[in-house]
């Protein structure tokens, strides 16, 4: 059987599991909010250009014949995310972000990031620089990387292969999900900031 675990990490100290999970969630949510805010601003600018056009893709999300608000943009992206979840092919709205946490038979704690393939695909890249983690990817269908010793590669093989038939035995650290959209969407904060700005101007 071909094993292809392209990105994975081992926790250096298993006692740090929950603090590390909290650190990953907080850092990833910060990255996600910044990226979503960028997307919302781009959508709001695009929606302003589409206003009044018969094929306006944002029409049903506007709260009248006006510009798209940050909350409207958030709703639109969530709707596109929901559509993506019903399809086999991937789009930029493949936004689910989570980390699978597994325990090997020797007690080693393993983490596999799943950042989706869309706009948030880079949201877990910071994990490779976390001092609490070390690279623990493995493939049996390619040559051993030069920076990994033969002994280490064999160890990874012995760790991963027994787990291949047990993929359901894991915990999932959910960071972005459809049902938890408003835990990470910056739409409300952006709307409040706009309201404060309007009050200062008036």
**Sign of the four-CA dihedral 195, 176, 31, 93:** negative
Q: Give every CB contact of residue 101 below 8 A, 6+ residues apart in sequence.
A: 17, 21, 109, 110, 111, 170, 171, 172, 173
pLDDT tens by residue, 21-36? 999 999 999 999 999 9
What phi and psi values does residue 200 have, to the nearest 5 degrees?
A: -65, -40
Whether the CB-CB separation of 172 and 99 falls below 8 Å is answered with yes
Domain that holds residue 108: 4-201
Q: How many domains does the chain have?
A: 1
Would you say how long the chain is, in residues?
202
pTM over 0.75: yes
User: Distance (Å, rounded) from C-alpha 181 to C-alpha 93?
Assistant: 13
> What is the number of other CB atoms lying within 10 angstroms of the CB of residue 150?
8
User: Distance (Å, rounded) from C-alpha 29 to C-alpha 21?
Assistant: 12
What phi and psi values does residue 133 have, to the nearest 5 degrees?
A: -120, 155
pLDDT tens by residue, 56-107? 556 665 555 567 789 989 999 999 999 999 999 999 999 999 999 999 999 9
pLDDT cut 90: percent of the chain above it: 62
Q: Please give the C-alpha separations between residue 71 and each of 29, 37, 44, 186, 187, in angstroms, as whole numbers.
A: 18, 11, 10, 8, 5
């Amino acid at each position: 059987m071909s094993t292809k675990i392209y990105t994975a990490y081992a926790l250096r100290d298993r006692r740090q599991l929950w603090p590390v999970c909290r650190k990953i969630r907080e850092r990833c949510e910060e990255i996600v909010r910044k990226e979503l805010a960028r997307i919302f601003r781009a959508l709001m600018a695009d929606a302003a250009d589409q206003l009044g056009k018969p094929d306006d893709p944002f029409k049903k999300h506007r709260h009248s014949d006006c510009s798209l608000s940050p909350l409207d943009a958030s709703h639109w992206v969530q709707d596109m995310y929901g559509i993506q979840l019903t399809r086999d092919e991937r789009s930029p709205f493949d936004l689910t972000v989570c980390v699978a946490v597994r325990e090997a038979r020797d007690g080693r704690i393993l983490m596999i990031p799943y950042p989706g393939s869309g706009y948030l695909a880079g949201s877990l890249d910071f994990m490779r620089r976390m001092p609490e983690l070390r690279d623990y990817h493995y493939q049996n269908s390619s040559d051993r990387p030069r920076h990994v010793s033969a002994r280490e590669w064999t160890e990874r093989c012995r760790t991963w292969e027994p787990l291949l038939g047990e993929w359901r035995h894991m915990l999932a650290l959910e960071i972005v999900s459809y049902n938890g959209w408003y835990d990470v969407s910056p739409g409300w904060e952006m709307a409040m900031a706009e309201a404060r700005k309007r009050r200062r101007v008036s």
